[in-house]
Amino acid sequence: MDCVFCKIVDGEIPSKIIYEDDELIAFDDLDPQAPIHFLVIPKKHIQSLETLDESDSDLIGKIFLAIRKIAREKGIADNGYRIVNNIGEDGGQTVPHMHFHVLGDRSLQWPPG
């Protein structure tokens, strides 16, 4: 499958992997928008929340718990951090493999103003 994030899961494209378990991986974003910016994805190819099957709904809870664990390990949990999930074209999703951005340590002001 011609999916950048599936290739990261398979190790065909190198990345800075910071967490891995049976179902998920997390890695640093190539183009960080904050001093700490990583992505958490399911290993299984799911295009977005819009195509998530009900049988995969447990994944969402696991993703959020992995985010919390990594955020604590990275020392951003006390000051807080932002989780962003873009869905589809109008949502600004550029990689069609569901992923959750985690931005910490002075993340960009959003919404602006």
Paired residues of 13 in beta bridges: none
Binding residues for ligand 5GP, rule CB under 6 A, total: 13
Catalytic residue, from 37, 97, 99, 101: name it.
Answer: 99
Contacts 24+ apart (CB under 8 A), 14-18: 18/70
Closer to ligand 5GP by Cβ: residue 48 or 56: 48
For CA atoms 27, 96, 103, 31, give the dihedral sign: positive
Out of 57, 61, 90, 92, the residue judged to bind ligand 5GP by CB under 6 A: 92
Rounded-to-integer distance, Cα 51 and Cα 11, Å = 24
Nearer to ligand 5GP, 30 or 108 (CB): 30
Considering the complex, state which of residue 92 and residue 113 has its C-beta at the smaller distance from ligand 5GP: 92
Neighbours of 50 (CB within 10 A): 11
x/- mask, Zn ion, residues 4-33, rule CB under 5 A, reads -xx---------------------------
Q: Give Cα separations from 106 to 61, 73, 80 (angstroms).
A: 25, 17, 9
**Residue 101 annotated in active site:** no
- Contact footprint for ligand 5GP (CB under 6 A): 4, 13, 15, 27-31, 86, 92-95
Residues with catalytic annotation? 99
